[in-house]
Amino acid sequence: MEALKDASINVIGVHGMGGIGKTTLVKEVARQVKEGKLFDSVVIATVTQTFDVKGIQDQIADLLGLRFEEQSMVGRALRLQERLKKEKKILVVLDDLWARLDLEEVGIPFGNEHEGCKILLTSRDLNVLSSGMDTQKNFAVGLLNEDEAWDLFKKMAGHCVESCDLQATAIEVAKKCAGLPIAIATVARALRNRSLFEWKSALCELKRPSSRDFKGVTAGVYSAIELSYNYLESEEVKLTFLLCSFLGHNGLIEDLLKYIIGLGLFHGVHTIEEARNRVLTVVSNLKASCLLLDSYNSERFDIHDVVWYVATSIANRDLRMFALINGDVLKQWPENEAMRNCSAINLLDPNISELPEEMECSLLSFFHMAHEGTVKIPVNFFRRTERLKVLDLTGMHFPSLPVSIELLTNLHTLCLNQCTLDDITIVGKLKNLEILSLAGSDIKALPQEIAQLTQLRMLDLSHCTRLKIIPPNVLSSLTKLEELYMDNSFVQWEDEVVGKERRNASLEELKHLSHLTTFYAHIPNAQIIPKHVFIEALDRYRILIGDEWEWSRNYEYSRTLKFKLYSSIYMDHGVKILMNKTEDLHLDQLKGIKNVLAELNNGEDFTHLKKLHIQNGRKVQYIATEKIKLSQLQSMTLEGLPQLITFCSQDKRCFTSQQQGNASSEPLPLFNIQLCYPLEACQLSSINAKEYAQPAFQRHAAVPSLERMTISHLRNVKKILHNELLAGSFRKLEEMTVTNCDELLTVFSSTIIGVFSCLKKLTVSDCDSLQQIFEVGGLNIKEIHAVDCQPRELYISEVPKLKHVWNNDPRGILAFQNLRKVVITECPSLKNLFPASIAKDLPQLEFLEVTQCGVEEIVSAGEGLEKAIRFKFPQVSSLRLRYLNELKCFYPGQHTIVWPMLKKLETDYSTLLKIVASERLSIQEMNGNDQPESTIRRPLFLVEEV
């Protein structure tokens, strides 16, 4: 952590053998960094031996909410670099490097390109870090000693291992794990809550000599992980784990689901949703067993290299599964008996240019090949694989599919994701197909023959951006369809008009799909949504209504509706049903609507709503009424609502756009009641308050669960918060951003700062009238107890009239002892930064920057200038003072400063003279001979210790 705080270190390395805990360590560092707000953002990407630059870019982009439009690697790298530079301070963690990685090729700026970007790397090889990546500081992770190993073992196995009858055996088992965390974790989890005889049996297995040394995994570690596999609860879970190993690093849970359904692995499940829940449960249990890991988002899982190697070995040995993993190369198809008896073949980037005329694998049930580029599949390649149930060909180019595919009568899952496809008519002959996935392919038209797939339960057309034609009645023929994915894909829906022939699919067709529970689609025209339709049965949906919507990379909830209301809607349309069930509601272009939720839902409650985003409503005056319950609302964004009066209208003010009469002219604050919602995030933007006099949040306003609040372009508001807020009204608020509020005069008054007991980060920018951040006035020292304020980070930029951060010295009544980072830039009217009482008590301050400001002194003149003051900044490691043309001194009185941790000082020569160098004041008393009798040197600034 100290290296991450060191401003002079940009690239840090962690090295150690596989399974030693490097990934766990950097993930814990990332967690602490996030918790401590040391960086604005933290992103983690797994590199691995395959060195997939595109995959690394996708991982980082996913965490940043970035969507690539560019196709070329160079274009993607430039876009990623541009996005990363928007983060003032970001930590990029690159896990599992096997060779030098060109950061510029990926699009990661560092050094002079982005001084706020720090890079944390892990590798098994120190040379990769020090020589290949030019790390400035390296940390070795070694094996655990006996005590550390036993402590970890107890934590993973539970305190039952300390019972008198079990302890001796448990200690021996722990010793067999040889101090390697991955072995300790998997074995301990496998034996948790097991009987003594099972512990003794496990110890015998671990003692049994093994000749296995697979991919550099020692025999002892291999035995430990194999033991964990053997102790999995059922064959169903074991097979699921081996399939997870097929998907490797950052595997998609949805891909795993498609495989499991195709293989018929789960018994007793009747719907895809039931199968999905079972898959999620098994994956969760495998994570609890330490055989799987969390990935960079909840839609994926990860696997440790050591576990991956062992799982692949087990699959090859016991289940006749042939698999390629990291670093394996298959240049020629193996012609041997073992290959002919395979039940599953998994080829990740095999680097093979030619396949055999026929694949002689009569027992094969699973075949997966991922290959970027053109590889010719002979027409009879699948002729002798009649038992095949799952076929996944990813990233391949097909002028046409091999004709032998029509012989796969037992095929249940066909995945042609990210493929270049032309003619897939032959797919219509696969009558038993249950899952067809064409996600990310460049298919332009779905063939009519797809209508013959009457057993199809899932059709995935997501991200087929070139798909323009789905012939009429194809979708309606798929009567067993449960899930239909068309996100970022087909939008050419046609309306059904009697007597008019259609060229494309219509939404009316979906009413024939009585089993449909999941639907992702973009519908440009709300008027073609049928009145009575499939919508009532939907459990999962992402539906975008209206033109010019963009599909996001990240969706937090399973039921999302985005709707543009620039045309009138009808109360009996399916949209109303969707709204009642929606968890994430995004409304745009609200034409003619005054009271949003009251009009859209007839004043009824939104019992499922968790995220609300309303934007661009020129006539919107209210969001809801006091009677409408939003019991689960966690996030709210209000943007571009120039006529908004207040959030909740009272009954007497509950006017809708259909009602007559005018609301009272009495001014109202935006928020005047306690919002009884678990609201965690709030963003207000481009809102014109009706009156200057009212704060946006009135005295009785309370949002006790709010954690993040952003306020921007709030017009006609001089004060955001009332001077007398209720205790606890903002008790969980951690981050607050205020920007482009041109009439705002102050952010906090001293009387309410104590209400914000958890505030950690405050950002203020581009507020043209703002004069002070903290208004310290009217403090009665006898009546007010000292308040220790929590802000850790303070960012102020481009506030032209800002005169003071604190307008008066709080003299100990307010303390800011938790401040760690202060950055103030482009505030030309600012006269000083800290009052003396605050500057004297900043024990945790680590980073201080003042740039392009009009400050005359860093610390303002307080009372008692005749007394010498000692300022000590025990943790400041980086000091940046630049372009301070009006600066006269650090503090106008006598003082000393202590900077024991200062490592980086950035300033210009003029500022350096005034801040760092001692300045002489010579007073010469002339004697009778006109010779100087003495010279008195009084430094304005004395550096005592640096």
Q: Which residue has the higher pLDDT, 922 or 767?
A: 767
Return the CATH number of the domain spanning residue range 1-140.
Answer: 3.40.50.300
**Model confidence at 17: pLDDT above 70:** yes
Helix H or strand E encompassing 186: helix 181-191
**Model confidence at 112: pLDDT above 50:** yes
Could you tell me if 760 and 794 are in contact, meaning their C-beta atoms sit under 8 angstroms apart? no
- Averaged confidence pLDDT in the chain: 83
Q: What residue segments make up the domains of the chain, in order of their start?
A: 1-140, 144-211, 232-319, 322-564, 672-770, 820-920+934-945
pLDDT of residue 313: 86
**Separation between Cα atoms, residue 108 and residue 61, nearest integer Å:** 11
CA nearest neighbour of 689 among 713, 664, 666, 714: 714
The phi-psi region of residue 754 (left if phi > 0; otherwise alpha if psi is between -120 and 50; otherwise beta) is alpha
| 144-211 fold | Helicase, Ruva Protein; domain 3 (1.10.8)
pLDDT of residue 515: 94
**Model confidence at 391: pLDDT above 70:** yes
Between 382-391, 811-820, 878-887, the lowest mean confidence (pLDDT) is in 811-820
What are the two backbone dihedrals, phi and then psi, of residue 827, each rounded to the nearest 5 degrees? Answer: -125, 85
| Per-residue confidence band for 532, with pLDDT thresholds at 50, 70 and 90 | low
Return the CATH number of the domain spanning residue range 322-564.
Answer: 3.80.10.10
What is the per-residue pLDDT across 630-674, written as a single tens digit (0 to 9) for each?
Answer: 888 888 888 888 888 888 776 543 333 444 344 444 455 677 555
The CA R_g of the chain, rounded to the nearest whole Å, is: 33
**Model confidence at 594: pLDDT above 60:** yes
Between 8-22, 145-159, 346-360, the lowest mean confidence (pLDDT) is in 346-360
Once rounded to an integer, what is the mean pLDDT over residues 843-867? 84
352-364: buried (b, 16+ CB within 10 Å) or exposed (e) per residue? beebeeebebeeb
| Per-residue confidence band for 480, with pLDDT thresholds at 50, 70 and 90 | very high
Once rounded to an integer, what is the mean pLDDT over residues 774-790? 56
Q: Which residue has the tokens 């620039």?
A: 566
Collect all residues with Cβ–Cβ distance below 8 Å to 587 and sequence separation of at least 6. Answer: 562, 563, 564, 565, 596, 600, 613, 614, 615, 617
Could you tell me if 323 and 312 are in contact, meaning their C-beta atoms sit under 8 angstroms apart? yes
Query: Three-class SS string for 228-264?
Result: HHHCCCCHHHHHHHHHHHHHCCCEEHHHHHHHHHHHC
For strands 793-797 and 420-423, give the pairing: unpaired
What is the per-residue pLDDT across 41-81, written as a single tens digit (0 to 9) for each?
Answer: 899 998 877 778 888 998 998 888 888 878 788 899 999 99
Could you tell me if 637 and 613 are in contact, meaning their C-beta atoms sit under 8 angstroms apart? yes
What is the per-residue pLDDT across 251-290, written as a single tens digit (0 to 9) for each?
Answer: 999 999 999 999 999 999 999 999 999 999 999 989 888 8
Q: Does domain 232-319 have CATH number 1.10.10?
A: yes
Helix H or strand E encompassing 730: none
Orientation of helix 181-191 relative to helix 305-318, angle to 10°: 60
% of the chain beyond a pLDDT of 70:
87
Q: Which residue has the higher pLDDT, 389 or 895?
A: 389
% of the chain beyond a pLDDT of 90:
31
| Per-residue confidence band for 922, with pLDDT thresholds at 50, 70 and 90 | very low
User: Whole-angstrom distance between the N-terminal and C-terminal Cα of the chain?
Assistant: 22
Strands of 303-411, DSSP E: 321-323, 344-348, 366-373, 390-400
Q: How many CB atoms lie within 10 A of CB 204?
A: 8
CA nearest neighbour of 593 among 616, 610, 627, 612: 616
Beta pairing partners, 869? 895
Write the DSSP assignment of 790-841 as a string of letters: ---EEEEE--TT--EEESS--TTSEE-TT--EEEEEEETT--EEE-HHHHT-
What is the per-residue pLDDT across 763-777, written as a single tens digit (0 to 9) for each?
Answer: 999 999 999 998 876
Could you tell me if 777 and 751 are in contact, meaning their C-beta atoms sit under 8 angstroms apart? no
**Separation between Cα atoms, residue 163 and residue 166, nearest integer Å:** 5
Once rounded to an integer, what is the mean pLDDT over residues 297-306? 88
